[in-house]
């Protein structure tokens, strides 16, 4: 064989001649320092809060307990602490937390990080600030109310004296920690970092190739594993012959993993693992395994047949999950009725970094390095697999090279734990792109049926919406067949229109492959249906789509959360005036109503999800041969307080690219239980030459912060569909549209 040289990903990039220009942020790249362990556990001379510690020189270490995947969580949460602490950002070090219940919820999904932890981060900063102010007051023998912190110093305005934080650390450490109900907080007009554009703290490391992702994890003596998994979900190994694989240079052994059984949970899928001393040998050895599979009952799964099953389900009455007044009477007495069906396929997460994890299991410990969105779940899994106590399981959270919900499931981590325990050595499991796409927790396909009645006064007075899709709950309960209340609450039950007669119904269907949450979850297909159908109603009523939306939305009001879905929490009322405002703002910025050349059109879609309000206006250009592209997208976005507007804009721009990719190409199909796609040649994401000019218009207000990473996605596909109709008169009701509109 040709000798194999183990080459890191970044070494390959260096040798390939790539030039990257990086921007340095002094004091923000991650380094190991005395007083701070490599795991991010604060051990400085003073730690007034689990999230904050100080070195003797006044350096502040802030622990980020949420996972960073490019969304800017490390920066946003740390900036909140630093702002309330009145810290000099140049003297702040951000450290990644290990998995530990002391930090609270570490499951980084649901656009939850800032809205769920802003107040807790403010408390951490305020605690340290007040103790520093008290330490200075004691030294000067003045009342603490005469002292104030500012930019890493405590000032006494009356005398002009000041002390750097480094001069107060020892004294502050001796003080009692104030109770949370005695803390004072900065007014919003005094914020220094919150609400201001800030580059992410990982930028320097990322642009210079120093950032550590899961696929980069390494420990001395580790082995590499590639796993052959049954191509059909829950299939099993019937027999295998490892002779050819073991004959390869670098292959050390072959290990069988136990097969998974329903429900999927986060179990390792099972299969045959090739253990080798480098990744190439492991993957080559996998090709030479002669495996006969027992594919099981899911071998009958064909996505085309399943599509018809879903469509059939929504053509008949389902279980009513929202019912108001008398829809049947509204339809019977209508001047006009219209109806439509919409379909969206399975989707894969397809992050740029496929799943990878490193585990080292001994008789005394289990140590893991993984790009996980939910590291505390790995502690539970590690303890169950190894038989160790939870406190003996340590989980290091690396950077995530994309995730979109995939890396909240720890099946790939479990594989590494099982194999390390089996061979008594550290093992890194690396999934190929094909592994990732063919063995995903797929976004559910969906059929949606909508019907509306228009009365003699040209008003919409009846609304019927039926949904059918395999529930995510089937991953945790094999018998689950009906969408959960929180799933239909994402854009179906919480439809905000002022319509007297409403029915929302759901159907039962059985999942055939692993179903999981993907960026924006059920909002994707429910917003596609509702926002597209709203546009169809506009033309049926002979109204401009913007005018029609505002008319259907009705007067400004606060909607009852118990009746309108599952996202309602205290301080987050569903305020239709905010939905109205983003619609009007997006239309204004896009110059809605302007005369366009032939083959061009504007489409509008408006949606609320993850407690944020979003409106998108997509401009499409369709060539004579039907090929289309999107030159411009305008998004108006109201997420309450935008902690880091730079990241908000970046997330909305990413949502546009993600959404257009879903609309144009993304489609997972199955034949005889096997996923047909395997790489970016047949599961395509949007290419750079298709990315539009995107303008993000952030609504500035003092409402509590809401979600950012996910809510920009749902309106994109329906806004595009509506724009294509405006340009061509062709109504598209099934995703993906493909690159060309058929004649």
**First-last CA distance in the chain:** 54
Q: Residue 266 pLDDT > 90, yes or no?
A: yes
Residues 687-700, mean pLDDT to the nearest whole number: 96
User: Percentage of the chain with pLDDT > 90?
Assistant: 91
Q: Residue 579 pLDDT > 90, yes or no?
A: yes
Residues 654-684: pLDDT tens digits? Answer: 999 999 999 999 999 999 999 999 999 999 9
Residues 616-645, mean pLDDT to the nearest whole number: 97
Residue in this structure with the two tokens 């890493």, named with its chain if needed: 152
- Which band of pLDDT confidence, cut at 50, 70 and 90, is reported for residue 547? very high
Residues 59-78: pLDDT tens digits? Answer: 999 999 999 999 999 999 99
Secondary structure class of 619 (helix, strand, coil): strand
Structure tokens at 95: 């450290």
Secondary structure class of 9 (helix, strand, coil): helix
pLDDT score for 45:
78
CA 626, 627, 632 angle in degrees (round to 5)? Answer: 120
pLDDT score for 52:
97
Q: Residue 24 pLDDT > 60, yes or no?
A: no
Domains and CATH numbers, the chain: 46-207 (3.30.365.10), 214-297+355-430 (3.30.365.10), 303-347+442-728 (3.30.365.10)
Residues 585-607: pLDDT tens digits? Answer: 999 999 999 999 999 999 999 99
Q: Which residues of 569-584 are buried (b: 16+ CB within 10 A; e: fewer)?
A: eeebbbbbebbbbbbb
What is the residue-averaged pLDDT of the chain? 93
Q: Residue 20 pLDDT > 80, yes or no?
A: no
- Which band of pLDDT confidence, cut at 50, 70 and 90, is reported for residue 505? very high
- In this structure, the number of other CB atoms found within 10 A of the CB of residue 158 comes to 10
CA 355, 351, 401 angle in degrees (round to 5)? Answer: 75
- DSSP code per residue over 298-351: GGG--HHHHHHHHHHHHTS--EEEEEES-HHHHHHT-SEEEEEEEEE-BB----
d(CA 351, CA 399): 13
Q: Residue 346 pLDDT > 80, yes or no?
A: yes
Residues 280-338: pLDDT tens digits? Answer: 999 999 999 999 999 999 999 999 999 999 999 999 999 999 999 999 999 999 999 99
- DSSP code per residue over 232-265: BTT-EEEEEE-HHHHTSTTEEEEEEEPPP-SS-T
- Which band of pLDDT confidence, cut at 50, 70 and 90, is reported for residue 570? confident
Residues 275-284, mean pLDDT to the nearest whole number: 97
Structure tokens at 201: 């703290």
Residues 236-259, mean pLDDT to the nearest whole number: 97
Contact 716, 656 (CB under 8 A): yes
Cβ burial of 179 (10 Å; 0-12, 13-18, 19+) is exposed
Contact 512, 518 (CB under 8 A): no
Residues 109-118: pLDDT tens digits? Answer: 999 999 999 9
Of 239-243, 379-383, 400-404, 564-568, minimum mean pLDDT range: 564-568
Residues 694-717: pLDDT tens digits? Answer: 999 999 898 999 999 999 999 999
Residues 147-157: pLDDT tens digits? Answer: 999 999 999 99
Q: Residue 400 pLDDT > 60, yes or no?
A: yes
pLDDT score for 41:
35
Q: Residue 501 pLDDT > 90, yes or no?
A: yes
Structure tokens at 579: 């939905």
pLDDT score for 383:
98
pLDDT score for 149:
98
Structure tokens at 212: 């550590």
User: Percentage of the chain with pLDDT > 70?
Assistant: 93
CA 306, 270, 483 angle in degrees (round to 5)? Answer: 35
Q: Residue 14 pLDDT > 60, yes or no?
A: no
- Extended strands (E) in 345-421: 356-361, 366-370, 393-397
Residues 94-110: pLDDT tens digits? Answer: 999 999 999 999 999 99
pLDDT score for 21:
27
Contact 357, 266 (CB under 8 A): no
Q: What is the pTM of this model?
A: 0.93
pLDDT score for 560:
83
Cβ burial of 182 (10 Å; 0-12, 13-18, 19+) is exposed
d(CA 688, CA 438): 25
Q: Residue 144 pLDDT > 70, yes or no?
A: yes
Nearest CA to 442 out of 301, 579, 328, 318 is that of 301
């Amino acid at each position: 064989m040709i000798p194999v040289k183990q080459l890191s990903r970044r070494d390959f990039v260096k040798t390939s001649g790539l030039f990257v220009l990086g921007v340095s942020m002094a004091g923000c790249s991650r380094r190991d320092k005395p007083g701070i362990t490599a795991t991010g556990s604060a051990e400085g001379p003073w730690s007034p809060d689990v999230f904050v510690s100080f070195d003797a020189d006044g350096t502040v270490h802030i622990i980020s307990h949420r996972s960073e995947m490019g969304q800017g969580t490390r920066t946003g949460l740390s900036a909140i602490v630093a702002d309330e602490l009145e810290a000099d950002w140049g003297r702040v070090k951000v450290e990644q937390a290990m998995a530990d219940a002391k930090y609270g919820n570490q499951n980084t999904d649901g656009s939850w990080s800032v809205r769920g932890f802003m107040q807790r981060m403010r408390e951490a900063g305020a605690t340290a600030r007040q103790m520093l102010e008290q330490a200075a007051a004691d030294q000067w023998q003045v009342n603490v109310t005469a002292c104030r912190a500012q930019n890493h110093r405590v000032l006494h305005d009356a005398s002009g004296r000041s002390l750097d934080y480094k001069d107060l650390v020892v004294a502050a450490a001796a003080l009692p920690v104030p109770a949370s109900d005695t803390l004072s907080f900065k007014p919003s007009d005094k914020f220094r970092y919150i609400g201001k554009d800030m580059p992410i703290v990982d930028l320097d490391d990322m642009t210079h190739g120093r950032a550590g992702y899961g696929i980069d994890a390494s420990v001395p003596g580790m082995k590499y594993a590639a796993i052959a998994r049954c191509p059909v979900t829950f299939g099993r190994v019937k027999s295998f012959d490892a002779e050819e694989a073991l004959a390869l240079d670098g292959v050390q052994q072959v290990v069988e993993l136990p097969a998974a059984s329903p429900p999927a949970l986060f179990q390792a899928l099972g299969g045959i693992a090739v253990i080798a001393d480098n990744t190439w040998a492991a993957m080559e050895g996998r090709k030479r395994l002669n495996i006969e599979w027992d594919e099981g009952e899911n071998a009958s799964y064909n996505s085309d047949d399943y599509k018809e099953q879903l469509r059939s389900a929504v053509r008949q009455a389902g279980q009513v999950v929202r019912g108001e007044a008398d829809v049947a009477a509204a339809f019977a007495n209508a001047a006009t009725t219209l109806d439509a069906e919409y379909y969206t396929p399975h989707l894969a997460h397809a992050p740029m970094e496929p799943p990878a994890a490193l585990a080292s299991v001994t008789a005394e410990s289990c140590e893991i390095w993984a790009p996980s969105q939910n590291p505390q779940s790995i502690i539970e899994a590690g303890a169950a697999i190894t038989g160790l106590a939870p406190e003996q399981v340590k989980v290091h959270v690396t950077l995530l090279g994309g995730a979109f919900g995939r890396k909240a499931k720890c099946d790939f981590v479990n594989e590494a734990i099982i194999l390390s325990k089996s061979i008594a050595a550290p093992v890194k499991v690396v999934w190929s792109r094909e592994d990732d796409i063919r063995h995903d927790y797929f976004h559910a396909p969906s059929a949606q049926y909508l019907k509306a009645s228009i009365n003699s006064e040209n008003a919409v007075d009846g609304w019927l919406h039926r949904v059918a899709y395999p529930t995510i709950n089937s991953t945790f309960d094999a018998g689950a067949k009906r969408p959960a209340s929180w799933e239909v609450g994402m854009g179906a039950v919480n439809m905000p229109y002022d319509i007297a007669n409403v029915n929302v119904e759901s159907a039962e269907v059985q999942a055939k492959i692993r179903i999981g949450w993907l960026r924006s979850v059920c909002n994707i297909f429910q917003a596609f249906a509702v926002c597209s159908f709203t546009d169809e109603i506009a033309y049926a009523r002979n109204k401009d789509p913007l005018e029609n939306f505002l008319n259907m939305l009705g007067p400004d009001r606060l909607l009852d959360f118990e009746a309108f879905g599952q996202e309602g929490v205290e301080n987050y009322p569903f305020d239709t005036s905010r939905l109205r405002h983003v619609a009007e703002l997006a239309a204004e910025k896009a110059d809605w109503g302007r005369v366009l050349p032939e083959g061009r059109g504007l489409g509008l879609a408006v949606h609320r999800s993850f407690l944020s309000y979003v409106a998108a206006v997509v401009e499409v250009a369709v060539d004579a041969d039907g090929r289309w592209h999107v030159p411009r997208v305008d998004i108006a976005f109201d997420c309450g307080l935008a902690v880091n507007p730079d990241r908000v804009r970046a997330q909305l721009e990413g949502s546009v690219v993600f959404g257009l990719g879903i609309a144009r190409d993304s489609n997972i199909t199955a034949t005889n239980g096997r996923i047909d796609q395997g790489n970016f040649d047949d599961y395509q994401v949007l290419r750079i030459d298709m990315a539009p000019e995107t303008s993000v218009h952030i609504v500035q207000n003092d409402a509590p912060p809401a979600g950012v990473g996910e809510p920009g996605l749902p309106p994109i596909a329906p806004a595009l569909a509506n724009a294509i109709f405006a340009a061509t008169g062709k109504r598209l009701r099934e995703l993906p549209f493909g690159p060309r509109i058929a004649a």
